[in-house]
């Protein structure tokens, strides 16, 4: 099994979408995909309705996902940890214990544009258009990831 974790701040907007999109592109027998937030504000909550709706428009149902906070043991449980922005990167790296933990973590958009350190913008305070924009970025990044993982 290859285990992949998507991480954002609240685990209700960007990372649940990333989880749903990547899971839909990979065989479940070989890949486990999960998501988490660096903050605990929304623990136990469903994804934001705007993420649920944009996913539905693209044929995905993420409505049963539940937010949880990133924890140190995720470094042991996951092979790859993809973060949405530089603040997530900093918060996850702060919890790392050694260089092995650190090498698991990267900005997801570096899968599309290596080394450019571009960010998936936080759509929480914006309009619905922000969610469509996030969806498109994540869909492209996940396509690249699937190519790399060669399922």
Q: Which residues bind ligand 4NP (CB under 6 A)?
A: 8-14, 37, 41, 122, 124
8 catalytic? Reply is yes
Nearer to ligand 4NP by C-beta: 43 or 103?
43
DSSP-assigned letter for residue 69: B
Q: Are 115 and 40 in contact (CB under 8 A)?
A: no
Please, what is the Cα angle at 135 between 147 and 46, to 5 degrees?
Answer: 110
Closest residue to ligand 4NP using C-beta atoms: 10
Using alpha carbons only, how large is the chain's radius of gyration in Å? 14
In the complex, least distance from residue 120 CB atom to ligand 4NP, rounded to whole angstroms:
8
Distance CA 151, CA 137 (A): 21
Catalytic residue among 14, 48, 50, 85: 14
Report the DSSP beta bridge partners of residue 2.
Answer: 31
In the annotation, is 57 catalytic?
A: no
For ligand 4NP, the closer CB: 37 or 147: 37
Catalytic residue check, 34: no
């Amino acid at each position: 099994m290859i285990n992949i974790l998507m991480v954002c701040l609240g685990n209700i907007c960007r990372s649940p979408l990333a989880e749903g999109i990547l899971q839909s592109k990979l065989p479940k027998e070989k890949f486990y995909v999960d998501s988490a937030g660096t903050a605990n504000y929304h623990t136990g909550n469903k994804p934001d309705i705007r993420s649920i709706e944009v996913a539905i428009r693209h044929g995905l149902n993420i409505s049963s996902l539940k937010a949880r906070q990133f924890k140190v043991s995720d470094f042991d449980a996951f092979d790859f940890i993809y973060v949405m922005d530089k603040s997530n990167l900093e918060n996850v790296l702060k919890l790392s214990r050694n260089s092995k933990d650190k090498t698991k973590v990267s900005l997801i958009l570096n899968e599309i544009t290596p080394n450019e350190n571009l960010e998936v913008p936080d759509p929480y305070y914006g309009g619905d258009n922000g969610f469509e924009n996030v969806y498109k970025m994540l869909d492209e990044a996940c396509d690249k990831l699937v190519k790399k993982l060669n399922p």
